[in-house]
Amino acid sequence: MCGRLLQITPPEALAHAYGVPSFLVKVPLETHPRYNVAPSQPLLAVRLTPDGERELVPLTWGLVPRWSKEPKTPYSTINARAETVAGKPAFRDAFRRRRCLIPADGFYEWRQNPTGNTTGKQPFRILAKDGQPLTFAGLWERWEGEGHAPVESCSIIVTAANAFMAPIHDRMPAMLMPEDWPAWLDPTTAADTLNRLLKYPTPMRGTLL
């Protein structure tokens, strides 16, 4: 799955790479590089405004559905499986209407010790082969409840591992090519197109930590 990642590219560089106007960068430009972002912490993400422009915003990692009674969930929503995301109650509405791009300079995964000893897992840092940020397919949601501040949150979609990742883990984040970003962000994109976008095999490299 995906439970730790890196976001070290400065916000202004992300805005340039993802076509976000400077006035729609909703995070401090002095944001410090983060080498081990964990669930419940904010992730920088790119989404569309109601006017159809791209904005860069922080979203809490762990999607809170609109229908949740509390500003958190009793189960994990940091990842959504590509095979079932369209039908799962926690994700299906966001999948239809509120998709986002989550830039990551890499992510961490742990390979099971061949002996099956869970205390002997090996951590790997996974990076793009060209050294540029990876782009994860994400979902976002806004939760509002009486007596609570609104919560904007997100989930990373995961899919079956490609040939590179398979020896490390059977799942990996679903990644998108730049030419597919407009279709992923567009709330009118058809479901069959979205499903096709979730199967792109990104070239990657890994480092044993």
Q: Which of 40, 185, 202 is nearest to 102 (CA)?
A: 185
Give the residue-averaged pLDDT of 175-200: 92
Q: Which residues carry out catalysis?
A: 2, 109
Residue with tokens 């994109």: 189
CATH 2.70.70.10 fits 5-208, yes or no: no
Summarize pLDDT for 1-38 with one digit per residue, the tens.
Answer: 688 999 999 999 999 999 999 999 999 877 899 999 99
d(CA 128, CA 8) in angstroms, rounded, equals: 14
Domain ranges of the chain: 5-208
Q: Which two tokens stand for residue 130?
A: 């060209």
Phi, psi of 189 (to 5 degrees): -65, 135
Question: Contact at 8 Å (CB) between 38 and 68?
Answer: no
Summarize pLDDT for 147-164 with one digit per residue, the tens.
Answer: 889 999 999 999 998 888
Q: What is the pLDDT of residue 203?
A: 57
Model pTM score: 0.92
